Structure 1
């Protein structure tokens, strides 16, 4: 059995299927770890959701910011982006089944030495604490009152964690760290304005994974989200968003031996680079 961790798909279904063929992925024996952002911007989000849902236990998915955006839009909350490509999902006859499946996926997955999350973890969180905090969000998102949670999710404040946080602000910080963060201060104050290369870090900020004394440093973090960072492989960091959507490549990494598999973005799936990355 092999475990393949796959970077952000974002509706690039043709590239995704070509990557699985390259890996010789067999759902009867292998597993996929998907770092989130299954949907949006690419042309075939509907097919992507249907395929991954159909894999059942062979796929482990964590939610990304674009996946949560889909759930918010479907529930009538948040601001609709002019460049989203979610119309086919929202109009699909199996829309409700797909969205119900999506909102029941994890925010953080912890297994052996690996911790998978879409964006990152704040420096004061161990992976065990992060898993417990993710469970709070997952409980709200899978509850009968999930639409109230989605209605309170939008926004970038508070920008830092405190153990005293409660209610919607507490859940919002957890979500924003795990699905949106790139840069933070050493104390864990997040910035959401800058989305580019590491060299563009605001004064006083650094990539979340370079924060000194980060409590999750003893685990191997498996993440996506940061296409401008590019494929970054360290002993304790596997950052797998290699920018397929932006004309780059889609990446899979076999966790057992760190064998790398990549395919070029399929024809017709990339979007103009002048669009803001998110």
Structure 2
């Protein structure tokens, strides 16, 4: 259909209006670029507003770095190299910043884990390997304990526990029982108690908790430091004597007995009425307390304490090998007869190369070296048994602890209860208000520990 005259007129009017509007808009875009220069239209991009362009939003006009070109010869592209513009665009991207934060956190986690966990473990492992290396022994001229040590006056180095006090090697539950015998019903038990330090009430509470009964086959073994610091050292000694307990000498017993011998020697020379006193400058509060306790002990109590050896050899117990009690610890690989008694009562750490023990905590803990030594020894014994066909044919014993040793000790209250494969630390800081611990070994080598709470008598 052909358009009518009215329609043609309307279309022509619209075209003229559109042309007028377009021309008017272009005229609005025409602004002078420089003073006195001919006017030229500005591109549409010059009128785009972006939030990041603070200068344009605030109406500022920095001639040095204009946000848009203002002269005919000015380039719309920055003068910076392309690689720099690309790097700046990547860095300014929010996603990139998030990834950077994540990677930094991940790297810090790895670094902290290495420094705090993996590096100390690796260093300790290397130290243990070095400590047991025969080449190290040859280089330092032999390890500690190679030569015989001098004996100390009034000190028993080693004593054996009566074998009749040991629990049955095999589990007593597998054996027929006498219905009228209480001891056969429960079996014998060895009860090892950590540092008591004069806390008699707590010791009695612990023995009541485990239903200790000497007549039923129980035997008490004290790991040293039975006296000093606490409220009733003499009461602890009397209780131990009444129970026919076994013991080892700790550093506090040794100090008190040393003061007692000095007092007796002083009395022989100067008379009983002349009290023995240390020089005031050389006396610590612990020395004063030990001197006072040395005066208070009766001859019977002191004699019982002097009978406590530095090392008590308990005997063979299934799953534990040869069980030994020492107050502070032992040097691995050294015969019990050659152990230094002073170190046995005081040691905490050990030198990696020479195996010289120390009362300080700096260095490698003796327990770690001892457990590593026994682990290596166990592997060697298993290899020997595997290569010995005669031993395999005649070996009916399923106990893989034969030829090994377990040490039960006290002394180290800072670490507290510390039960490892071949070392059992029982000093749980009773006198400091923490716990008093008993390790109970019954027939078949079964063992468990029991603790009671203690009052606080001294600050740690």
TM-score of the pair, normalised by structure 1? 0.71
Q: Report the Cα distance in structure 1 between the residues aligned to 2:434 and 2:284, rounded to whole angstroms.
A: 23
Check if 1:181 corresponds to 2:347. Answer: yes
Q: Per residue, is there more helix in 1 or in 2?
A: 2
Q: Report the equivalent of 1:161.
A: none
Q: Report the equivalent of 1:169.
A: none
Output one character per residue of 1:13-48: Cα deviation in whole Å (capped at 9) or x when no partner: 111110010011012221011111110011110101
Matched residue count: 216
State the shift of 1:192 in Å.
Answer: 2.5
Q: Report the equivalent of 1:148.
A: none
Q: Report the equivalent of 1:74.
A: 260
Check if 1:233 corresponds to 2:419. Answer: yes
State the shift of 1:91 in Å.
Answer: 4.3
Residue aligned with 2:214, SS: coil
State the shift of 1:117 in Å.
Answer: 0.6
Q: Report the Cα distance in structure 2 between the residues aligned to 1:9 and 1:248, rounded to whole angstroms.
A: 12
State the shift of 1:87 in Å.
Answer: 6.5
Unaligned runs of 5+ in 2: 1-187, 264-277, 317-321, 378-403
Which structure has the higher relative contact order (CA within 8 Å, separation 6+)?
1
Describe the shift of the 1:191–1:89 C-alpha distance in structure 2 as closer, same or farther (beyond 3 A).
closer
Q: Report the equivalent of 2:240.
A: 52
Output one character per residue of 1:100-131: Cα deviation in whole Å (capped at 9) or x when no partner: 12111221111112111101111331xxx21x
Q: Report the Cα distance in structure 2 between the residues aligned to 1:69 and 1:23, rounded to whole angstroms.
A: 31
Q: Report the equivalent of 2:329.
A: 120
Residue aligned with 2:325, SS: strand
Describe the shift of the 1:21–1:206 C-alpha distance in structure 2 as closer, same or farther (beyond 3 A).
same
Q: Report the equivalent of 1:206.
A: 364
Q: Report the equivalent of 2:231.
A: 43
Q: Report the equivalent of 1:162.
A: none
Q: Report the equivalent of 1:247.
A: 433
- Greater than 3 Å deviation, 4+ residue runs: 77-81, 83-92, 212-217
State the shift of 1:176 in Å.
Answer: 2.0
Residue aligned with 1:24, SS: coil
Unaligned runs of 5+ in 1: 135-173, 195-201, 274-278
Q: Report the equivalent of 1:152.
A: none
Describe the shift of the 1:192–1:260 C-alpha distance in structure 2 as closer, same or farther (beyond 3 A).
closer
Q: Report the equivalent of 1:30.
A: 218
Output one character per residue of 1:58-95: Cα deviation in whole Å (capped at 9) or x when no partner: x1101110111110111227865413645674444x61
Check if 1:99 corresponds to 2:258. Answer: no
TM-score of the pair, normalised by structure 2? 0.44
Q: Give yes or no for contact 1:46–1:88 (8 Å, CA) kept in 2.
A: no
Q: Report the equivalent of 1:259.
A: 448
Q: Report the equivalent of 1:17.
A: 204
Q: Report the Cα distance in structure 2 between the residues aligned to 1:191 and 1:106, rounded to whole angstroms.
A: 20
State the shift of 1:96 in Å.
Answer: 1.2
Q: Give yes or no for contact 1:124–1:188 (8 Å, CA) kept in 2.
A: no
Q: Give yes or no for contact 2:259–2:291 (8 Å, CA) kept in 1.
A: no
Rg (Cα) greater in structure: 2
Describe the shift of the 1:24–1:97 C-alpha distance in structure 2 as closer, same or farther (beyond 3 A).
same
Q: Report the Cα distance in structure 1 between the residues aligned to 2:210 and 2:434, rounded to whole angstroms.
A: 18
